[in-house]
Structure 1
Amino acid sequence: MSDEPHDPTGLDLASEIARAAVESAAYGVVLPDPAPQRQPRRPRRPMEQQRSGAHPDDRDPQLVGDVLDSVIKQRGWQRRISLSTLLRRWPELVGEANAEHSTPVDYTDGVLIVDCDSTAWASAMRYSASQLVARLNRSLGDRTVLRVDFRGPKPPSWKRGPRSVGGRGPRDTYG
């Protein structure tokens, strides 16, 4: 063991090797090749596999869009991409005025839930729900959206706040 400190980067060793190589080249010393390079052997294939037909197959270059479509289908990302498209294009799909007063909030099993600013907007948009479903399916893919539910604002809760009553509450006033 030597008393010299260990160089974790290995720069000292690399510079020593480089210096030795330069000196050996200057004196005409030829260092042996550490490992002879062998050419890799190509596997032999039957002639039928090497021929290319007149029609496209898997070995031909593929279009980027086709490759992305196959990856999306394999990974099951179609629904997520459709939803992000829906959220991004919501004003275009329902119109600017409707988009200002409505927001898609949930999509589960083909049912799109949309929250509206008021019950009047929710009622007005319910009249055009079938046309909206058809338009969404045209732009997102067939049978992506089966139904659209429009909800108005949530009513106030009487369980908390200044008008809350402890115990059973005001049940006796209704009957």
Structure 2
Amino acid sequence: MSEEAHDPTGLELASEIARAAVESAAYGPTLPEPAPPKPVRRRRVFQEQRSGAHPDERDPQRVGDVLESVIQARGWQRRIGLSTVLRRWPELVGEANAQHSKPVDYADGVLIVDCDSTAWASAMRYAASQIVATLNRKLGDRTVLRVEFRGPKPPSWKKGTRSVKGLGPRDTYG
């Protein structure tokens, strides 16, 4: 057996490959013709998927608009409106009245306000209809149905485990 000399550079092999490529190109392509492309079937696009000239829910939206829609969807507008107005309590009832009264609860259209004394609670009761009208103007119609003004809680006369039944000394509390 004759042993052929090995070419470490690979130039002979590259030359043979190049000659074979030139010869095959001279006789035309040897690969089969590619099949014509199949027509692309378009899926039917439904009307709600198309974007139009007017904005819809898929378009970018402002944060305030998104929050407003969430507030309306959850039914929070009265509660948020009420908390906003209650933070502005001095504007609604006046500085002097606000110093002696504080809104503490709102449920089922009834606003409960605690006052410093029974005299302030009585004075505020006279202005209750005006306060209800102002709150409904700010919050929306029929949000606040009634305002209850409470005076200070009377002290408890029951001290210890052995107490006598009854209210204790009489005084003008509430």
TM-score, with structure 2 as normaliser: 0.60
After superposition, where does 1:1-175 map in structure 2 within 5 Å?
Answer: 44-46=43-45, 48-49=47-48, 51-160=50-159, 166-168=163-165
Q: Deviations over 1:115-141 (max 9, x none)?
A: 111111111111111110111111122
Aligned partner letter, 1:128: A
Q: Specify whether residues 86 and 49 from structure 1 end up closer, same or farther in structure 2 by C-alpha distance, changes over 3 A only.
A: closer
Aligned partner letter, 2:130: Q
Q: Specify whether residues 84 and 49 from structure 1 end up closer, same or farther in structure 2 by C-alpha distance, changes over 3 A only.
A: closer
Percent identity of paired positions between Structure 1 and Structure 2: 78
Q: Specify whether residues 149 and 56 from structure 1 end up closer, same or farther in structure 2 by C-alpha distance, changes over 3 A only.
A: same
Distance of 1:136 and 1:170 partners within structure 2: 37
| Deviation, structure 1 residue 144 | 1.8
SS of the equivalent of 2:152 reads coil
- Structure 1 runs of 4+ aligned residues shifted over 6 Å read none
Q: Specify whether residues 125 and 166 from structure 1 end up closer, same or farther in structure 2 by C-alpha distance, changes over 3 A only.
A: closer
Distance of 1:108 and 1:148 partners within structure 2: 11
How many correspondences in the alignment?
Answer: 127
Aligned partner letter, 1:121: W
Aligned residues of 2:78 and 2:139 also touching (Cα < 8 A): no
Aligned partner letter, 2:155: P
Aligned partner letter, 1:143: R
Distance of 2:127 and 2:91 partners within structure 1: 15
Which residue is equivalent to 1:37? Answer: none
Distance of 2:57 and 2:119 partners within structure 1: 56
Aligned partner letter, 1:154: K
Q: Deviations over 1:95-154 (max 9, x none)?
A: 111100000111111101001111111111111111101111111222221110001111
| Deviation, structure 1 residue 61 | 3.9
Distance of 1:122 and 1:170 partners within structure 2: 22
Q: Specify whether residues 165 and 72 from structure 1 end up closer, same or farther in structure 2 by C-alpha distance, changes over 3 A only.
A: same
Distance of 1:125 and 1:118 partners within structure 2: 11
Please, which runs of 5 or more residues in structure 1 have no aligned partner? 1-42
TM-score, with structure 1 as normaliser: 0.60
| Deviation, structure 1 residue 158 | 2.4
Aligned residues of 2:101 and 2:115 also touching (Cα < 8 A): yes
CA RMSD of aligned residues (A): 3.0
